[in-house]
Structure 1
Amino acid sequence: MRDGPDIARVAALIGDPARANILTALMSGKALTLSELAGEAGVTLPTASGHMAKLAEGGLVGTRKQGRHKYFALASDDVAHVLEALMGLAAGTGQLRHRPGPRDPEMRKARVCYNHLAGDMGTQMYDSLMARGMLRHAGKALELTDEGRAFVAAFGIDLDALPRSRAPLCRDCLDWSERRAHLAGRLGRAMLGHMEASGWVSRVKGSRILRFSARGDAAFREAFGPA
């Protein structure tokens, strides 16, 4: 059947090892320069430039300029959602790029997935909200209940003030290490942002790892402990 979207073209863009490394680096949610991405991919600047042109043409990355510098980021939440799912598929079938290292347990405990919390603590938060009736599925969609809206407001998030975008308020995202869902969408982003602003968690430089402080870990357990 030849009708419909051309998944082969998108798969070919992601499938190149250098471009896969570039896209994985951008899953940190940070906009990176060409030289930073060249280092992540292990290629020269001209080669990285060619890869970025292909990724931009394919709609997988976007660019922005700040002064004399040009920065690259994933084009949308949809791109991040697909990449996380592919990471889960690769991990589940034993397709690992390296043996587990000393940071592997930290990556599995808590990490950033583009702009929201992932890993064991991400799935724990999702499971807690689902078990307490604050999130529910409505068909294929994930929605916040009235109880959930009250909880989110008490948590310190003004839903009406969240930036408008094409991204849904709530979204399931398949966690690659836990193989279960964590919370994405505008709410997932706001929850992680609030935890960072409150000093619960900080990002480990040069990594997707999120490290909770002792106070943050205790506050997280109180907010998202077993129902």
Structure 2
Amino acid sequence: MHASPTRHQLAEIGSLLADSSRAAILLALVDGRARTAGELSRMAGIAPSTASAHLARLVEGGLLQVLSQGRHRYFKVANDNVAQVLEALPLLRSPPACAPMRAPRAQPLAFARTCYGHLAGRLGVAVYQGLREQAWIELGDHSVRLTESGREALPKGGLLADARASPSLSGRGCLDWTERRPHLGGPLGVAIVDHLLRRDWLRRQDGSRALLLTPPGRTGLQKLGIVLDD
């Protein structure tokens, strides 16, 4: 059981998120990929020196980690917990009463996006719901696991590589901030996205967390009984 944060810890985290440039850097990394300082400065629209100062604060504050490869340094989200909090933050604020309720659903990010490597958005929710309805996953006390029928059906249907090679592969329910319903997170969710990208059922869109569902992907998911809401 995790201890509650102190007011000073909460204030420190809030100060790290309060700057729009640091927020842009974090959002650029929440898909789980590692990027250089130069890439992040361009994506955030700030000078390299400014990006370096912000990155140093985010690393010191424990939200990012640095990976060194040769002469290059890459930055990524520190862990899955940080990514989960970043993805869920919009849930803390209710939309304005005058805002059209369906407007966010028209955005590419609302349909399909990566959340620290797993599938979020309407498509992520549909996949999670489809797996549950067909009893291919089961909800444990602290995780989501493949059932015996799921270990056979998911590789056969094209959602996973051989699931029997990783008998301990599990995931977790992750509350989707656009749909307000859970999608599948954790290692199992990441493994499904990686496999769908390799099969070209999903494609990354450069410079964005949005994912494109290809025609073969749409057909394959429909054959699995996963209902896609257009």
**TM value normalised by structure 1:** 0.83
Q: Give the one of 38, 44, 47 matched to 1:44.
A: 47
In structure 1, the residue matched to 2:129 is 127
In structure 1, the residue matched to 2:22 is 19
In structure 2, the residue matched to 1:97 is none
Q: Which runs of 5+ in 2 are unaligned?
A: 97-101
Report the 3-state secondary structure (helix = DSSP H, G, I; strand = E; otherwise coil) of the residue aligned with 1:79. helix
In structure 1, the residue matched to 2:33 is 30
CA distance in 1 between counterparts of 2:142 and 2:68 reads 37
In structure 1, the residue matched to 2:83 is 80
Q: Which piece of structure 1 moves more, 66-75 or 205-214?
A: 66-75
CA distance in 2 between counterparts of 1:56 and 1:119 reads 28
Report the 3-state secondary structure (helix = DSSP H, G, I; strand = E; otherwise coil) of the residue aligned with 1:136. strand
Percent identical pairs in the alignment equals 39
Kindly tell me the number of residue pairs found equivalent between the two proteins.
214
Report the 3-state secondary structure (helix = DSSP H, G, I; strand = E; otherwise coil) of the residue aligned with 1:29. coil
Given that 1:109 and 1:121 are in contact with CA atoms closer than 8 Å, whether structure 2 keeps it comes out as yes
CA distance in 1 between counterparts of 2:210 and 2:45 reads 21
In structure 1, the residue matched to 2:204 is 203
CA distance in 2 between counterparts of 1:217 and 1:110 reads 12
Q: CA RMSD in A?
A: 2.6
Report the 3-state secondary structure (helix = DSSP H, G, I; strand = E; otherwise coil) of the residue aligned with 1:177. coil
In structure 2, the residue matched to 1:187 is 188
1:56 paired with 2:84, answer: no
Letter matched to residue 176 of structure 2: D
In structure 2, the residue matched to 1:118 is 120
In structure 1, the residue matched to 2:149 is 147
Say if 1:103 and 1:136 are closer, same or farther in 2 by CA, change over 3 A.
Answer: closer
Given that 1:125 and 1:224 are in contact with CA atoms closer than 8 Å, whether structure 2 keeps it comes out as no
Report the 3-state secondary structure (helix = DSSP H, G, I; strand = E; otherwise coil) of the residue aligned with 2:107. helix
Q: Which piece of structure 1 moves more, 112-121 or 216-225?
A: 216-225
1:70 paired with 2:73, answer: yes
Q: Which runs of 5+ in 1 are unaligned?
A: 95-99
In structure 2, the residue matched to 1:175 is 176
